[in-house]
Structure 1
Amino acid sequence: MRIGLITSDPAHPLLAATTALLAAEHTVRTLDPATAEPPEPPEAPADVYLLKARTPRAISLARALERRGARVLNSAAATELCQDRTAMAEQARRAGLPFAATRTYPTLAECAERAEFADEQGPDGRSGLPGPVVVKSRHSRKHDLVTRVDSAAQLRELAAAHPEEPVVVQEFAPNSGWDHKLWAIGDRVFTALRRSELSPGGRGPTRPLAPDSLPPGWTALVHRVGEVFALDVYGVDVIDRGDGVPLIVDVNAFPGVRDQPGAPQALAALTLSSAGAGAGA
Protein backbone atom coordinates (compact mmCIF):
# COMPACT_ATOMS: atom_id res chain seq x y z
CA MET A 1 0.00 0.00 0.00
CA ARG A 2 1.00 3.62 -0.49
CA ILE A 3 0.92 5.82 2.61
CA GLY A 4 1.43 9.57 2.73
CA LEU A 5 2.58 11.61 5.71
CA ILE A 6 1.46 15.25 5.63
CA THR A 7 4.06 16.77 7.91
CA SER A 8 7.10 19.02 8.02
CA ASP A 9 8.66 16.76 10.66
CA PRO A 10 8.80 13.11 9.52
CA ALA A 11 11.42 12.51 12.23
CA HIS A 12 8.81 13.09 14.94
CA PRO A 13 9.17 10.07 17.28
CA LEU A 14 5.64 8.74 16.70
CA LEU A 15 5.81 9.14 12.92
CA ALA A 16 9.36 7.81 12.65
CA ALA A 17 8.53 4.70 14.68
CA THR A 18 5.32 4.12 12.72
CA THR A 19 7.15 4.56 9.42
CA ALA A 20 9.73 1.99 10.49
CA LEU A 21 6.93 -0.52 11.09
CA LEU A 22 5.24 0.18 7.75
CA ALA A 23 8.16 0.73 5.38
CA ALA A 24 9.23 -2.92 5.24
CA GLU A 25 6.14 -3.87 3.22
CA HIS A 26 4.60 -0.57 2.14
CA THR A 27 5.63 2.67 0.44
CA VAL A 28 5.69 5.66 2.78
CA ARG A 29 6.03 9.12 1.26
CA THR A 30 6.28 12.47 3.08
CA LEU A 31 4.46 15.56 1.81
CA ASP A 32 5.79 18.73 3.41
CA PRO A 33 2.78 21.10 3.49
CA ALA A 34 5.13 24.07 3.24
CA THR A 35 6.15 23.05 -0.28
CA ALA A 36 4.01 20.13 -1.51
CA GLU A 37 1.16 20.38 -3.98
CA PRO A 38 -1.53 17.74 -4.46
CA PRO A 39 -0.44 15.06 -6.94
CA GLU A 40 -1.88 15.62 -10.37
CA PRO A 41 -2.98 12.96 -12.88
CA PRO A 42 -1.73 10.55 -13.99
CA GLU A 43 -0.30 10.06 -10.49
CA ALA A 44 -2.99 8.71 -8.18
CA PRO A 45 -3.26 9.67 -4.50
CA ALA A 46 -1.88 7.33 -1.86
CA ASP A 47 -4.19 4.79 -0.22
CA VAL A 48 -4.23 6.84 2.98
CA TYR A 49 -2.64 10.03 4.34
CA LEU A 50 -1.80 10.85 7.95
CA LEU A 51 -2.44 14.56 8.56
CA LYS A 52 0.04 15.32 11.34
CA ALA A 53 0.48 19.02 10.49
CA ARG A 54 -2.30 21.45 11.43
CA THR A 55 -1.30 24.62 9.59
CA PRO A 56 -3.77 26.23 7.17
CA ARG A 57 -1.61 25.10 4.26
CA ALA A 58 -1.56 21.51 5.55
CA ILE A 59 -5.34 21.49 5.94
CA SER A 60 -5.74 22.94 2.45
CA LEU A 61 -3.49 20.22 1.03
CA ALA A 62 -5.48 17.52 2.84
CA ARG A 63 -8.76 18.96 1.56
CA ALA A 64 -7.45 18.95 -2.02
CA LEU A 65 -6.45 15.30 -1.67
CA GLU A 66 -9.87 14.44 -0.24
CA ARG A 67 -11.52 16.03 -3.27
CA ARG A 68 -9.56 13.57 -5.38
CA GLY A 69 -10.95 10.68 -3.34
CA ALA A 70 -8.04 10.23 -0.91
CA ARG A 71 -8.62 8.99 2.62
CA VAL A 72 -7.06 11.32 5.23
CA LEU A 73 -6.63 10.73 8.99
CA ASN A 74 -7.84 12.95 10.51
CA SER A 75 -10.01 14.59 7.88
CA ALA A 76 -9.34 18.17 6.91
CA ALA A 77 -12.70 19.27 8.34
CA ALA A 78 -12.15 17.55 11.69
CA THR A 79 -8.63 18.93 11.99
CA GLU A 80 -9.75 22.46 11.13
CA LEU A 81 -12.56 22.30 13.71
CA CYS A 82 -10.05 21.57 16.48
CA GLN A 83 -7.99 24.62 15.53
CA ASP A 84 -10.84 27.00 16.43
CA ARG A 85 -11.44 26.90 20.18
CA THR A 86 -14.77 28.71 19.85
CA ALA A 87 -16.11 26.16 17.37
CA MET A 88 -14.64 23.36 19.47
CA ALA A 89 -16.45 24.49 22.60
CA GLU A 90 -19.74 24.94 20.75
CA GLN A 91 -19.49 21.47 19.21
CA ALA A 92 -18.65 19.84 22.54
CA ARG A 93 -21.37 21.55 24.55
CA ARG A 94 -24.03 20.86 21.89
CA ALA A 95 -23.14 17.18 22.24
CA GLY A 96 -23.44 17.31 26.02
CA LEU A 97 -19.75 16.82 26.70
CA PRO A 98 -18.41 18.24 30.00
CA PHE A 99 -16.47 21.02 28.30
CA ALA A 100 -15.34 24.20 30.00
CA ALA A 101 -17.71 27.14 29.49
CA THR A 102 -16.10 29.39 26.91
CA ARG A 103 -16.52 33.08 26.05
CA THR A 104 -15.10 34.52 22.83
CA TYR A 105 -13.71 38.01 22.23
CA PRO A 106 -12.62 39.36 18.82
CA THR A 107 -9.43 40.81 20.34
CA LEU A 108 -7.71 40.68 23.70
CA ALA A 109 -7.88 44.46 23.87
CA GLU A 110 -11.67 44.31 23.58
CA CYS A 111 -11.79 41.56 26.18
CA ALA A 112 -9.90 43.75 28.63
CA GLU A 113 -12.14 46.70 27.83
CA ARG A 114 -15.48 44.89 28.03
CA ALA A 115 -15.00 42.25 30.71
CA GLU A 116 -14.23 43.05 34.32
CA PHE A 117 -13.90 40.56 37.11
CA ALA A 118 -17.01 39.92 39.16
CA ASP A 119 -15.61 41.39 42.34
CA GLU A 120 -14.50 44.51 40.43
CA GLN A 121 -17.65 45.06 38.37
CA GLY A 122 -19.01 48.57 38.43
CA PRO A 123 -22.54 49.86 37.96
CA ASP A 124 -22.12 50.24 34.18
CA GLY A 125 -23.41 46.71 33.59
CA ARG A 126 -20.32 45.30 31.95
CA SER A 127 -20.20 41.52 32.10
CA GLY A 128 -18.16 40.25 35.00
CA LEU A 129 -15.69 37.40 34.68
CA PRO A 130 -15.77 34.92 37.56
CA GLY A 131 -11.99 35.12 38.12
CA PRO A 132 -9.54 33.60 38.05
CA VAL A 133 -9.86 32.73 34.37
CA VAL A 134 -7.81 31.07 31.65
CA VAL A 135 -7.19 33.17 28.54
CA LYS A 136 -6.31 31.30 25.35
CA SER A 137 -5.73 32.22 21.75
CA ARG A 138 -8.91 31.44 19.84
CA HIS A 139 -6.91 29.76 17.09
CA SER A 140 -4.82 26.86 18.36
CA ARG A 141 -1.28 26.84 17.00
CA LYS A 142 2.32 26.40 18.11
CA HIS A 143 3.35 28.94 20.77
CA ASP A 144 -0.19 30.27 21.13
CA LEU A 145 -1.40 32.14 24.19
CA VAL A 146 -2.56 30.08 27.19
CA THR A 147 -2.33 31.76 30.58
CA ARG A 148 -4.13 32.21 33.88
CA VAL A 149 -5.40 35.69 34.72
CA ASP A 150 -6.39 36.62 38.28
CA SER A 151 -7.35 40.28 38.05
CA ALA A 152 -8.54 43.01 35.72
CA ALA A 153 -5.15 44.71 36.05
CA GLN A 154 -3.38 41.54 34.91
CA LEU A 155 -5.84 41.23 32.01
CA ARG A 156 -5.10 44.78 30.89
CA GLU A 157 -1.37 44.11 31.08
CA LEU A 158 -1.80 41.00 28.94
CA ALA A 159 -3.91 42.93 26.45
CA ALA A 160 -1.22 45.59 26.13
CA ALA A 161 1.21 42.87 25.03
CA HIS A 162 -1.21 41.12 22.63
CA PRO A 163 -3.91 43.68 21.76
CA GLU A 164 -5.08 42.18 18.44
CA GLU A 165 -5.08 38.51 19.46
CA PRO A 166 -8.54 36.87 19.17
CA VAL A 167 -9.11 34.99 22.44
CA VAL A 168 -11.41 32.72 24.37
CA VAL A 169 -11.85 32.92 28.13
CA GLN A 170 -12.65 29.96 30.38
CA GLU A 171 -13.28 29.92 34.10
CA PHE A 172 -10.33 28.46 35.97
CA ALA A 173 -11.41 25.23 37.67
CA PRO A 174 -9.52 24.42 40.90
CA ASN A 175 -7.60 21.17 40.49
CA SER A 176 -4.48 19.31 41.58
CA GLY A 177 -2.25 21.12 39.09
CA TRP A 178 -1.90 18.00 36.95
CA ASP A 179 -3.61 17.61 33.57
CA HIS A 180 -4.85 14.21 32.48
CA LYS A 181 -3.52 13.72 28.95
CA LEU A 182 -5.74 11.18 27.22
CA TRP A 183 -4.84 10.11 23.69
CA ALA A 184 -6.76 7.88 21.33
CA ILE A 185 -5.47 6.04 18.27
CA GLY A 186 -8.46 4.24 16.84
CA ASP A 187 -9.87 2.15 19.69
CA ARG A 188 -6.68 2.34 21.79
CA VAL A 189 -6.50 4.86 24.63
CA PHE A 190 -3.18 6.02 26.12
CA THR A 191 -2.89 8.08 29.28
CA ALA A 192 -0.44 10.20 31.25
CA LEU A 193 -0.33 12.97 33.84
CA ARG A 194 1.41 16.22 32.95
CA ARG A 195 2.10 19.15 35.21
CA SER A 196 -0.14 21.97 34.02
CA GLU A 197 1.42 25.00 32.34
CA LEU A 198 -0.97 27.02 34.51
CA SER A 199 0.50 25.73 37.78
CA PRO A 200 2.75 28.13 39.74
CA GLY A 201 5.90 26.33 38.65
CA GLY A 202 4.86 26.14 35.02
CA ARG A 203 4.71 23.04 32.86
CA GLY A 204 6.61 20.16 34.35
CA PRO A 205 7.28 16.48 33.68
CA THR A 206 4.92 13.88 32.27
CA ARG A 207 4.17 10.90 34.49
CA PRO A 208 2.96 7.52 33.24
CA LEU A 209 -0.62 6.60 34.06
CA ALA A 210 -2.24 3.24 33.43
CA PRO A 211 -5.53 3.49 31.49
CA ASP A 212 -7.23 1.16 33.95
CA SER A 213 -6.50 3.63 36.76
CA LEU A 214 -8.77 6.29 35.22
CA PRO A 215 -12.00 7.11 37.06
CA PRO A 216 -15.06 5.19 35.83
CA GLY A 217 -16.44 6.49 32.56
CA TRP A 218 -13.39 8.44 31.45
CA THR A 219 -12.35 5.97 28.73
CA ALA A 220 -15.88 6.00 27.35
CA LEU A 221 -15.74 9.81 27.43
CA VAL A 222 -12.61 9.78 25.26
CA HIS A 223 -14.32 7.59 22.68
CA ARG A 224 -17.37 9.85 22.75
CA VAL A 225 -15.14 12.85 21.96
CA GLY A 226 -13.84 10.98 18.92
CA GLU A 227 -17.39 10.37 17.73
CA VAL A 228 -18.49 13.98 18.28
CA PHE A 229 -15.46 15.45 16.48
CA ALA A 230 -15.12 12.68 13.84
CA LEU A 231 -11.50 12.07 14.89
CA ASP A 232 -9.40 8.92 14.58
CA VAL A 233 -6.16 10.12 16.21
CA TYR A 234 -6.67 12.75 18.88
CA GLY A 235 -5.95 13.99 22.36
CA VAL A 236 -8.32 15.09 25.12
CA ASP A 237 -7.05 17.30 27.95
CA VAL A 238 -9.07 16.67 31.10
CA ILE A 239 -8.80 18.01 34.62
CA ASP A 240 -10.31 16.32 37.66
CA ARG A 241 -12.63 18.71 39.47
CA GLY A 242 -12.71 16.35 42.42
CA ASP A 243 -14.03 12.85 43.03
CA GLY A 244 -13.31 11.88 39.43
CA VAL A 245 -15.61 14.51 37.88
CA PRO A 246 -14.03 15.35 34.49
CA LEU A 247 -13.82 18.72 32.78
CA ILE A 248 -12.57 18.80 29.19
CA VAL A 249 -10.46 21.87 28.48
CA ASP A 250 -9.04 21.04 25.04
CA VAL A 251 -9.26 18.59 22.14
CA ASN A 252 -6.29 18.12 19.80
CA ALA A 253 -6.20 16.54 16.37
CA PHE A 254 -3.24 14.15 15.89
CA PRO A 255 -1.12 14.99 18.97
CA GLY A 256 2.39 13.69 19.55
CA VAL A 257 1.53 10.76 21.86
CA ARG A 258 5.18 10.63 22.88
CA ASP A 259 6.73 7.89 24.99
CA GLN A 260 3.60 5.73 25.00
CA PRO A 261 4.44 2.03 24.55
CA GLY A 262 2.32 0.54 21.81
CA ALA A 263 1.36 3.87 20.20
CA PRO A 264 3.39 3.35 16.97
CA GLN A 265 1.95 -0.15 16.61
CA ALA A 266 -1.58 1.19 17.12
CA LEU A 267 -1.03 3.93 14.53
CA ALA A 268 0.45 1.49 12.01
CA ALA A 269 -2.52 -0.86 12.45
CA LEU A 270 -5.02 2.01 12.11
CA THR A 271 -3.22 3.26 8.99
CA LEU A 272 -3.40 -0.11 7.27
CA SER A 273 -7.02 -0.77 8.24
CA SER A 274 -8.02 2.69 7.01
CA ALA A 275 -6.12 2.23 3.76
CA GLY A 276 -7.80 -1.14 3.26
CA ALA A 277 -11.24 0.33 3.97
CA GLY A 278 -10.61 3.11 1.47
CA ALA A 279 -9.47 0.64 -1.20
CA GLY A 280 -12.56 -1.49 -0.57
CA ALA A 281 -14.84 1.49 -0.94
Structure 2
Amino acid sequence: MRLCFLVEEQYRYDGMPLDVIRQLTAWGHQVDVMWPGRSLLPLSEAVRAGSHDAWVLKTVSGGPGLSLLEAAAAVGLTTVNDVRAIRGVRDKALAAVIARGSGLPVPVTYAAARAEEFAQIPEAEFPLVVKPADGSSGRAVRLVESPDRLPAAGAAEPAEPGGAAGGLLIAQPYVPNSGTDLKVYCVAGELYATERRSPLHPGHAVRERQVPLTAEVARITAEIGTVFGLDLYGVDVLLGPDGPVVVDINDFPSFRQVPDAVARVSSAVLRLARKGAEPAVPGPAAPAVPPLAAIGGDR
Protein backbone atom coordinates (compact mmCIF):
# COMPACT_ATOMS: atom_id res chain seq x y z
CA MET A 1 0.00 0.00 0.00
CA ARG A 2 1.04 3.62 -0.44
CA LEU A 3 0.47 5.81 2.61
CA CYS A 4 1.06 9.48 3.39
CA PHE A 5 1.85 10.73 6.90
CA LEU A 6 1.46 14.41 7.78
CA VAL A 7 3.88 15.04 10.66
CA GLU A 8 4.30 18.27 12.62
CA GLU A 9 7.83 19.52 13.28
CA GLN A 10 7.52 18.93 17.04
CA TYR A 11 7.03 15.19 16.38
CA ARG A 12 10.08 15.01 14.10
CA TYR A 13 11.95 12.73 16.53
CA ASP A 14 9.02 11.09 18.31
CA GLY A 15 8.62 7.32 18.27
CA MET A 16 4.97 7.85 17.46
CA PRO A 17 4.53 8.10 14.53
CA LEU A 18 8.13 7.66 13.26
CA ASP A 19 8.45 4.07 14.50
CA VAL A 20 5.11 3.29 12.85
CA ILE A 21 6.42 4.73 9.59
CA ARG A 22 9.56 2.56 9.88
CA GLN A 23 7.46 -0.53 10.66
CA LEU A 24 5.16 -0.01 7.69
CA THR A 25 8.19 0.51 5.45
CA ALA A 26 9.81 -2.67 6.79
CA TRP A 27 6.61 -4.54 5.94
CA GLY A 28 7.05 -3.48 2.32
CA HIS A 29 4.65 -0.54 2.13
CA GLN A 30 5.53 2.82 0.60
CA VAL A 31 5.24 5.65 3.11
CA ASP A 32 5.57 9.29 2.08
CA VAL A 33 6.05 11.87 4.84
CA MET A 34 5.04 15.51 4.55
CA TRP A 35 6.10 18.18 7.05
CA PRO A 36 3.33 20.78 6.75
CA GLY A 37 4.89 23.22 9.22
CA ARG A 38 8.31 23.61 7.65
CA SER A 39 8.36 22.85 3.94
CA LEU A 40 6.88 23.79 0.60
CA LEU A 41 4.20 21.28 -0.36
CA PRO A 42 3.37 20.53 -4.01
CA LEU A 43 -0.32 20.67 -3.15
CA SER A 44 -1.85 20.11 -6.59
CA GLU A 45 0.37 17.12 -7.26
CA ALA A 46 0.34 15.55 -3.79
CA VAL A 47 -3.35 15.90 -2.94
CA ARG A 48 -5.14 14.22 -5.81
CA ALA A 49 -7.42 11.25 -6.28
CA GLY A 50 -5.51 7.97 -6.33
CA SER A 51 -2.25 9.42 -4.97
CA HIS A 52 -2.29 7.30 -1.79
CA ASP A 53 -4.32 4.51 -0.22
CA ALA A 54 -4.64 6.47 3.04
CA TRP A 55 -3.45 9.62 4.80
CA VAL A 56 -2.50 9.77 8.49
CA LEU A 57 -2.22 12.95 10.57
CA LYS A 58 0.13 13.54 13.52
CA THR A 59 0.18 17.28 14.23
CA VAL A 60 -0.65 19.69 17.01
CA SER A 61 -4.28 20.76 17.20
CA GLY A 62 -3.81 24.21 15.68
CA GLY A 63 -1.25 23.17 13.08
CA PRO A 64 -1.75 23.28 9.30
CA GLY A 65 -1.93 19.51 8.84
CA LEU A 66 -5.66 19.17 9.39
CA SER A 67 -6.45 21.42 6.41
CA LEU A 68 -4.30 19.17 4.23
CA LEU A 69 -6.02 16.06 5.57
CA GLU A 70 -9.39 17.64 4.82
CA ALA A 71 -8.18 18.39 1.29
CA ALA A 72 -7.23 14.72 0.87
CA ALA A 73 -10.69 13.65 2.05
CA ALA A 74 -12.30 16.18 -0.29
CA VAL A 75 -10.81 14.41 -3.33
CA GLY A 76 -11.95 11.01 -2.06
CA LEU A 77 -8.83 9.74 -0.27
CA THR A 78 -9.09 7.60 2.86
CA THR A 79 -7.98 9.26 6.11
CA VAL A 80 -7.07 7.74 9.48
CA ASN A 81 -9.10 8.88 11.48
CA ASP A 82 -12.09 10.34 9.62
CA VAL A 83 -11.51 14.08 9.15
CA ARG A 84 -14.90 14.98 10.66
CA ALA A 85 -14.01 13.00 13.77
CA ILE A 86 -10.63 14.73 14.07
CA ARG A 87 -12.19 18.17 13.68
CA GLY A 88 -14.81 17.21 16.25
CA VAL A 89 -12.28 16.42 18.99
CA ARG A 90 -9.60 18.99 18.16
CA ASP A 91 -12.02 21.82 18.77
CA LYS A 92 -12.47 21.28 22.52
CA ALA A 93 -15.51 23.57 22.68
CA LEU A 94 -17.24 21.57 19.95
CA ALA A 95 -16.13 18.28 21.51
CA ALA A 96 -17.61 19.26 24.88
CA VAL A 97 -20.99 20.06 23.30
CA ILE A 98 -21.08 16.85 21.26
CA ALA A 99 -20.00 14.68 24.21
CA ARG A 100 -22.40 16.24 26.70
CA GLY A 101 -25.26 16.10 24.19
CA SER A 102 -24.57 12.38 23.81
CA GLY A 103 -24.79 11.76 27.54
CA LEU A 104 -21.06 11.31 28.13
CA PRO A 105 -19.71 12.41 31.53
CA VAL A 106 -17.98 15.72 30.76
CA PRO A 107 -17.82 18.80 33.00
CA VAL A 108 -20.02 21.84 32.46
CA THR A 109 -18.14 23.95 29.92
CA TYR A 110 -17.91 27.71 29.37
CA ALA A 111 -16.26 29.48 26.44
CA ALA A 112 -14.87 33.00 26.00
CA ALA A 113 -12.40 34.83 23.82
CA ARG A 114 -10.75 36.43 26.88
CA ALA A 115 -10.06 34.76 30.21
CA GLU A 116 -11.37 37.73 32.22
CA GLU A 117 -14.87 36.92 30.96
CA PHE A 118 -14.85 33.80 33.15
CA ALA A 119 -15.23 36.12 36.15
CA GLN A 120 -18.97 36.04 35.37
CA ILE A 121 -19.09 32.36 36.35
CA PRO A 122 -20.51 31.88 39.87
CA GLU A 123 -17.71 31.76 42.41
CA ALA A 124 -19.10 28.49 43.76
CA GLU A 125 -17.96 26.80 40.52
CA PHE A 126 -14.31 27.74 41.09
CA PRO A 127 -11.62 26.53 40.90
CA LEU A 128 -11.74 26.38 37.11
CA VAL A 129 -9.55 24.58 34.61
CA VAL A 130 -8.90 27.03 31.75
CA LYS A 131 -7.35 25.94 28.45
CA PRO A 132 -7.27 26.87 24.75
CA ALA A 133 -10.05 25.32 22.70
CA ASP A 134 -7.42 24.30 20.14
CA GLY A 135 -4.78 23.24 22.67
CA SER A 136 -2.88 19.96 22.74
CA SER A 137 -0.50 17.90 24.92
CA GLY A 138 -1.59 19.69 28.10
CA ARG A 139 0.08 22.97 27.13
CA ALA A 140 -1.37 26.26 28.40
CA VAL A 141 -3.76 24.41 30.76
CA ARG A 142 -4.02 26.19 34.09
CA LEU A 143 -5.95 25.97 37.32
CA VAL A 144 -7.65 29.21 38.39
CA GLU A 145 -8.51 29.09 42.07
CA SER A 146 -10.87 32.08 42.24
CA PRO A 147 -12.25 34.92 40.06
CA ASP A 148 -9.61 37.35 41.33
CA ARG A 149 -6.88 35.07 39.93
CA LEU A 150 -8.12 35.52 36.36
CA PRO A 151 -6.08 37.83 34.09
CA ALA A 152 -7.05 41.49 34.24
CA ALA A 153 -8.99 42.99 31.35
CA GLY A 154 -6.68 43.65 28.42
CA ALA A 155 -3.92 41.31 29.60
CA ALA A 156 -2.37 39.27 26.83
CA GLU A 157 -3.12 35.54 26.79
CA PRO A 158 -0.19 33.16 26.27
CA ALA A 159 -0.23 31.71 22.78
CA GLU A 160 -0.49 27.95 22.36
CA PRO A 161 2.46 26.64 20.27
CA GLY A 162 1.13 25.74 16.83
CA GLY A 163 -2.17 27.49 17.54
CA ALA A 164 -3.58 30.91 16.87
CA ALA A 165 -3.08 33.65 19.45
CA GLY A 166 -6.32 35.08 20.72
CA GLY A 167 -8.34 31.94 19.98
CA LEU A 168 -11.30 30.66 21.96
CA LEU A 169 -10.75 29.55 25.55
CA ILE A 170 -12.82 27.06 27.52
CA ALA A 171 -13.28 26.75 31.26
CA GLN A 172 -14.60 23.80 33.26
CA PRO A 173 -15.04 23.36 37.03
CA TYR A 174 -12.12 21.47 38.53
CA VAL A 175 -12.92 17.83 39.30
CA PRO A 176 -11.42 16.82 42.68
CA ASN A 177 -9.11 13.85 42.19
CA SER A 178 -6.16 11.98 43.65
CA GLY A 179 -3.57 13.82 41.55
CA THR A 180 -3.52 11.10 38.90
CA ASP A 181 -5.63 10.54 35.83
CA LEU A 182 -6.20 7.73 33.37
CA LYS A 183 -5.17 7.87 29.75
CA VAL A 184 -7.21 5.25 27.93
CA TYR A 185 -6.07 4.31 24.44
CA CYS A 186 -8.16 2.71 21.73
CA VAL A 187 -6.36 0.89 18.91
CA ALA A 188 -9.05 -0.18 16.45
CA GLY A 189 -11.36 -1.45 19.19
CA GLU A 190 -8.75 -2.70 21.68
CA LEU A 191 -8.59 -0.64 24.91
CA TYR A 192 -5.60 -0.03 27.20
CA ALA A 193 -5.43 2.15 30.34
CA THR A 194 -2.43 4.02 31.74
CA GLU A 195 -2.25 5.77 35.10
CA ARG A 196 -0.19 8.96 35.12
CA ARG A 197 0.33 12.21 37.01
CA SER A 198 -2.31 14.84 36.31
CA PRO A 199 -0.83 17.92 34.56
CA LEU A 200 -2.55 20.05 37.21
CA HIS A 201 -0.59 18.29 39.98
CA PRO A 202 3.06 18.57 38.84
CA GLY A 203 4.42 17.83 42.32
CA HIS A 204 2.53 14.55 42.66
CA ALA A 205 4.91 11.62 42.28
CA VAL A 206 3.48 8.72 40.30
CA ARG A 207 5.09 6.25 37.95
CA GLU A 208 3.28 6.04 34.62
CA ARG A 209 2.11 2.47 34.24
CA GLN A 210 -0.50 0.30 32.61
CA VAL A 211 -3.45 -0.42 34.91
CA PRO A 212 -6.57 -2.60 34.69
CA LEU A 213 -9.53 -1.03 32.93
CA THR A 214 -12.85 -0.97 34.77
CA ALA A 215 -16.01 -1.91 32.93
CA GLU A 216 -17.43 1.61 33.37
CA VAL A 217 -14.39 3.40 31.95
CA ALA A 218 -14.21 0.86 29.10
CA ARG A 219 -17.86 1.51 28.24
CA ILE A 220 -17.35 5.28 28.25
CA THR A 221 -14.22 5.03 26.07
CA ALA A 222 -15.91 2.76 23.54
CA GLU A 223 -18.92 5.07 23.42
CA ILE A 224 -16.64 8.03 22.64
CA GLY A 225 -15.35 6.15 19.59
CA THR A 226 -18.92 5.56 18.44
CA VAL A 227 -20.11 9.12 19.09
CA PHE A 228 -17.18 10.80 17.35
CA GLY A 229 -16.42 8.14 14.73
CA LEU A 230 -12.83 7.54 15.89
CA ASP A 231 -10.73 4.40 15.40
CA LEU A 232 -7.35 5.40 16.88
CA TYR A 233 -7.71 7.73 19.86
CA GLY A 234 -7.02 8.49 23.49
CA VAL A 235 -9.29 9.67 26.30
CA ASP A 236 -8.22 11.49 29.49
CA VAL A 237 -10.39 10.37 32.41
CA LEU A 238 -10.45 11.66 35.98
CA LEU A 239 -11.89 9.49 38.72
CA GLY A 240 -13.88 12.12 40.58
CA PRO A 241 -16.11 11.81 43.66
CA ASP A 242 -19.14 11.10 41.45
CA GLY A 243 -17.42 8.66 39.10
CA PRO A 244 -15.34 8.88 35.89
CA VAL A 245 -15.24 12.25 34.11
CA VAL A 246 -13.90 12.75 30.57
CA VAL A 247 -11.68 15.83 30.37
CA ASP A 248 -10.02 15.43 26.95
CA ILE A 249 -10.13 13.37 23.75
CA ASN A 250 -7.19 13.05 21.35
CA ASP A 251 -6.88 11.63 17.86
CA PHE A 252 -3.67 9.63 17.25
CA PRO A 253 -2.04 10.07 20.71
CA SER A 254 1.30 8.68 21.91
CA PHE A 255 -0.02 5.20 22.87
CA ARG A 256 2.53 5.06 25.70
CA GLN A 257 2.42 1.88 27.80
CA VAL A 258 0.37 0.05 25.14
CA PRO A 259 2.01 -3.38 24.69
CA ASP A 260 3.64 -3.72 21.24
CA ALA A 261 2.24 -0.29 20.40
CA VAL A 262 4.16 0.14 17.14
CA ALA A 263 3.03 -3.17 15.66
CA ARG A 264 -0.55 -2.73 16.90
CA VAL A 265 -0.91 0.82 15.58
CA SER A 266 0.78 -0.07 12.28
CA SER A 267 -1.57 -3.00 11.79
CA ALA A 268 -4.56 -0.81 12.64
CA VAL A 269 -3.49 1.82 10.09
CA LEU A 270 -3.31 -0.87 7.40
CA ARG A 271 -6.70 -2.34 8.33
CA LEU A 272 -8.32 1.08 8.25
CA ALA A 273 -6.65 1.91 4.93
CA ARG A 274 -7.90 -1.34 3.40
CA LYS A 275 -11.36 -0.79 4.85
CA GLY A 276 -11.44 2.66 3.26
CA ALA A 277 -10.59 1.14 -0.10
CA GLU A 278 -13.57 -1.23 0.04
CA PRO A 279 -16.65 -0.28 -2.02
CA ALA A 280 -19.23 1.63 -0.01
CA VAL A 281 -22.29 -0.30 1.10
CA PRO A 282 -25.46 1.38 -0.25
CA GLY A 283 -27.82 2.89 2.27
CA PRO A 284 -28.17 5.96 4.49
CA ALA A 285 -25.56 6.61 7.16
CA ALA A 286 -25.56 9.21 9.93
CA PRO A 287 -22.49 11.48 10.11
CA ALA A 288 -20.00 10.68 12.87
CA VAL A 289 -20.13 14.27 14.10
CA PRO A 290 -23.44 16.16 13.91
CA PRO A 291 -23.50 19.32 11.77
CA LEU A 292 -23.02 22.54 13.68
CA ALA A 293 -26.59 23.61 12.98
CA ALA A 294 -27.77 20.61 14.98
CA ILE A 295 -25.96 21.80 18.09
CA GLY A 296 -27.04 25.38 17.91
CA GLY A 297 -24.35 27.17 15.93
CA ASP A 298 -22.82 27.85 12.55
CA ARG A 299 -19.70 29.33 11.03
The one of 163, 175, 179 equivalent to 1:173 is: 175
- Structure 1 counterpart of 2:213, one-letter code: L
CA deviation map 1:90-115 (0-9, x unaligned):
00011110111111122113323x33
Q: Does 1:216 align with 2:215?
A: yes
Quickly say closer, same or farther: Cα 1:165–1:56, change in 2 above 3 A: closer
The answer to which of 87-96 and 21-30 deviates more is 21-30
Which amino acid in 1 is paired with 2:89? C
Q: 1:153 aligns with which of 148, 151, 156?
A: 148
Gaps of 5+ in 2: 159-165, 280-299
Q: How much does 1:159 deviate?
A: 7.5
The one-letter amino acid paired with 2:215 is: P
Larger radius of gyration: 1
1:199 CA drift (Å): 1.6
- Percent identical among aligned pairs is 29
Q: CA deviation at 1:37?
A: 4.1
Q: Does 1:133 align with 2:128?
A: yes
Alpha-carbon distance in 2 for matches of 1:43, 1:102: 40
Give the equivalent residue in structure 2 for 1:241: 240
- Shift, 1:2, TM fit: 0.5
Within 5 A, what are the aligned runs for 1:248-267?
A: 248-267=246-265
Indicate the residue corresponding to 1:60 in structure 2: 67
SS of 1:45's partner is coil
| Equivalent in the alignment of 1:72 | 79
Specify the code of the residue in structure 1 equivalent to 2:95. Answer: M
C-alpha RMSD of matched pairs (Å): 2.5
- CA change 1:48–1:200 in 2 (3 A) is closer
- Asked whether 1:194 is paired with 2:196, we answer yes
CA 1:38–1:65 in structure 2 vs 1: closer, same or farther (change >3 Å)? farther
1:268 to 254, 266, 269: 266
Q: Distance in 2 between matches of 1:108 and 1:59?
A: 26
The one-letter code sitting in structure 2 at the alignment partner of 1:230 is G
Instruction: In structure 2, give the amino acid aligned to 1:154.
Output: R
Cα distance in 2 for partners of 1:20, 1:222 equals 29
Q: CA deviation at 1:40?
A: 2.6
- Distance verdict in 2 for CA 1:194–1:71, change over 3 Å: same
**1:32 is aligned to 2:30:** no
Q: How many residues align?
A: 265
Separation (CA, whole Å) in 2 of partners of 1:170 and 1:162: 18
Q: Which runs of 5+ in 1 are unaligned?
A: 119-129
- TM-score of the two chains, using structure 2 as the length reference: 0.80
Q: TM-score, normalised by structure 1?
A: 0.85
Pick closer, same or farther for the CA change 1:51–1:225 going to 2, 3 Å.
Answer: same
